[in-house]
Amino acid sequence: AQSVAQPEDQVNVAEGNPLTVKCTYSVSGNPYLFWYVQYPNRGLQFLLKYITGDNLVKGSYGFEAEFNKSQTSFHLKKPSALVSDSALYFCAVRDDSSASKIIFGSGTRLSIRP
Partner 1 sequence: GAGVSQSPRYKVAKRGQDVALRCDPISGHVSLFWYQQALGQGPEFLTYFQNEAQLDKSGLPSDRFFAERPEGSVSTLKIQRTQQEDSAVYLCASVLLVGGRSEQFFGPGTRLTVL
Q: How far apart are CA 5 and CA 114, in angstroms?
A: 29
Q: How far apart are CA 64 and CA 74, in angstroms?
A: 10
In terms of C-beta density within 10 A (0-12 exposed, 13-18 middle, 19 or more buried), how is residue 86 classed?
middle
Which of 49, 25, 28, 44 has its CA nearest to residue 103?
25
Q: Does 99 bind partner 1 (CB under 8 A)?
A: yes
Report the residue from 2, 90, 110, 112 that binds partner 1 according to the rule CB under 8 A: 90
Q: Does 51 bind partner 1 (CB under 8 A)?
A: yes
Which of residues 5 and 15 has its CB atom nearest to partner 1 in the complex?
5
Which of residues 3 and 17 has its CB atom nearest to partner 1 in the complex?
3
Report the residue from 34, 63, 67, 74 that binds partner 1 according to the rule CB under 8 A: 34
Tell me which residues touch partner 1 (CB under 8 A). 32, 34, 36, 41-46, 49, 51, 90, 94-96, 98-107
